[in-house]
Chains A and B, each alone.
Chain A
């Protein structure tokens, strides 16, 4: 009898232990009864200011707004965020992404700066059949040869940057270019895209150099620039984060602007301008995916962001918010977090939120299309408010901002 009781007790325990799953999953069709978003990004090094912890904060804002919008009608009120530091290392990103999906029950991974790391995570998403919204990496391979059914490329890419900045600057008279780029996937991709855009617009690349990454010394290239023949009108730098800060500081030190060699920046974030001060970059043009003080709608969100973080959002922060929101909306519409059903909701969807202006989630390659902006850093005396460092010269319509779907992409 005693033995029977023990056995019964064990069965009862087993039932209670396992019972939770099917029961709560039964109403909401959510794995584990909840939605888990995983933010994977750089939280310690060169790219942590432009995304980092504040991207996690932006995703939390999206969840709060989603809950407030749907209240009791929300697919679940149990929505969690987990985050991790991938240190910009592809191997770390690979391991963390697998841990997110397998151990933490993450339904969708967001952010992931550094192209080489971003591509690894795309492979993991494909293998695990789970969603992945890349925000902060630039490589067009995410919608090219490395594209897959579960990966969406959300905010920008090298084509958008090159086409916006390279084409416009060349058409405005910068015919000869000297391109300096960091020697890894992002830089190499940027160099190809820029070269193509410059040459298409009738310009000429007179020199190009891969620089060590990371580096604190760019003087070799800055000394070389004026000696090239023909002399370049502009140095196109593809450096980002603290590398960009180093390069711009040294560009000013060598007074290249006075020697007739301008500066054009491939990828720049608001936080970079803040570090360098607008004076160091005054007049520099670049392509921006979003700007916080563009209109009242953007500013409204930027005010909320500032109240929580103390700084103004970069486009990466805004895009993380937007991607988290669009994911939650898709789960709400599908009534499940089943990855295939959520993908079906997202594909081809036209969206217009404060980040995605005239937005569309393109079905063919999962490139998210939206308006981009040609921006120029203000002169120091034009800056009237902290963090308001940029004026928007022109809006590049969503249809022109991104490349046509690549034949390399087979979803």
Chain B
């Protein structure tokens, strides 16, 4: 039983990354109707940002945790103004292709500069120990990742439901025309929201650097799972994306640990996509999505 709880907790930790990435994607899709394929590459840039700041400027993990998302938010704003903004009036496929192209360019730029081998990054010394959680001990860094991710998801939820900005963004997400008809300038929120979504991906990247291989393609496989998460949750549904992110994290770990022995790896790997297929057949708008936004 203890082991089961330990594994479940561990699943929540790996779900943290899915949730943070899905949250950013959902916020961006909600307001811009853009499926940002470059989200995985931004996650990778976040991890590399932490590595470069440590390696070349000697900055700590904590500094990177603030500086990298801010820096990437600026990158996001520039990308939105320079490219994405020009294509939003066309078929969504154009921006999908644009961000896919950006992904390839970003990956290759990082490869050209830092090579294809993984770059070293250590767990911050303050979090290198273990925490006693009552039933079991767990690496402190993992507990921190989970706490951080939950705090951010709750923070974004509070921002959206308790503030005026959040109200405008939610209204513009659900009924863009009607919101405009009320005289609200939806357009001015587009660029900051895109920058914010990108910053979340960058933050997830910084959090990943101490526990995962910092590699030019680290986001390429992950982003496909995140897309499945967002589709299952319902495109544009912020709550759905976050919840499904954590759930998929846990289900994958359960599959790896408890599925019939010879099927474990296969089930863990295909589970997000099997669920996606089932959900699409049963509720095409996703579990928490609304028909008209789908």
Chain A interface (Cβ within 8 Å of chain B)? Answer: 44-46, 48-50, 52, 183, 209-214, 216-217, 219-221, 223-224, 227, 242-243, 245-246, 249-250, 252-255, 271-272, 274-277, 280
Closest to B108 in A: A44
Contacts A217-B14, A223-B6, A227-B3 given; indicate if A271 touches B117 (C-beta within 8 A): yes
CB atoms of B256 and A221 under 8 A apart: yes
Chain B interface (Cβ within 8 Å of chain A)? Answer: 3, 6-7, 10, 13-14, 111, 115-120, 123, 130, 139, 141-142, 208, 210-213, 215, 217-218, 221-222, 252-253, 256-257, 262, 264-266, 268-269
Q: How far is the CA of A52 from the CA of B257 in the complex (A)?
A: 34
CB atoms of A212 and B268 under 8 A apart: yes
Q: How far is the CA of A209 from the CA of B268 in the complex (A)?
A: 12
Q: Which residues of B contact A246 (CB under 8 A)?
A: 212-213
Q: Which residues of A contact B120 (CB under 8 A)?
A: 275-277, 280
Q: How far is the CA of A209 from the CA of B265 in the complex (A)?
A: 8
> Of B119, B123, B141, which contacts A275 at CB under 8 A?
B119
Q: How far is the CA of A219 from the CA of B252 in the complex (A)?
A: 11
Mind listing 9 A-B residue pairs with CB under 8 Å? A44-B116, A212-B266, A217-B252, A221-B256, A245-B213, A245-B215, A275-B118, A275-B119, A275-B213
Contacts A48-B116, A219-B13, A253-B141 given; indicate if A212 touches B213 (C-beta within 8 A): no
Q: How far is the CA of A216 from the CA of B40 in the complex (A)?
A: 14
Closest to A216 in B: B212
Chain A interface, >50% SS class: helix
Q: How far is the CA of A223 from the CA of B7 in the complex (A)?
A: 7
Q: Which residues of A contact B118 (CB under 8 A)?
A: 242, 245, 275-276
CB atoms of A216 and B218 under 8 A apart: yes
Closest to B213 in A: A245
Contacts A223-B3, A253-B139, A275-B213 given; indicate if A49 touches B116 (C-beta within 8 A): yes
Closest to A42 in B: B116
Q: How far is the CA of A245 from the CA of B116 in the complex (A)?
A: 13
Contacts A209-B264, A212-B268, A250-B211 given; indicate if A220 touches B253 (C-beta within 8 A): yes
Q: A48-B116, A49-B115, A212-B269 are in contact. List 14 more A-B contacts (CB 8 A).
A: A45-B116, A46-B215, A183-B266, A210-B264, A219-B253, A224-B7, A242-B118, A242-B217, A245-B215, A252-B123, A253-B139, A274-B117, A275-B119, A276-B120
Contacts A44-B116, A275-B213 given; indicate if A211 touches B265 (C-beta within 8 A): yes
CB atoms of A44 and B217 under 8 A apart: yes
CB atoms of B116 and A210 under 8 A apart: no
Minimum distance in angstroms from B210 CB to a CB of chain A:
8
Q: Which residues of A contact B115 (CB under 8 A)?
A: 49
Q: How far is the CA of A272 from the CA of B215 in the complex (A)?
A: 12
CB atoms of A216 and B264 under 8 A apart: no
Q: Which residues of A contact B221 (CB under 8 A)?
A: 214, 216
Q: How far is the CA of A255 from the CA of B269 in the complex (A)?
A: 26
Q: Which residues of A contact B265 (CB under 8 A)?
A: 183, 209-213
Contacts A52-B116, A223-B7, A271-B117 given; indicate if A255 touches B14 (C-beta within 8 A): no
Q: How far is the CA of A74 from the CA of B215 in the complex (A)?
A: 43
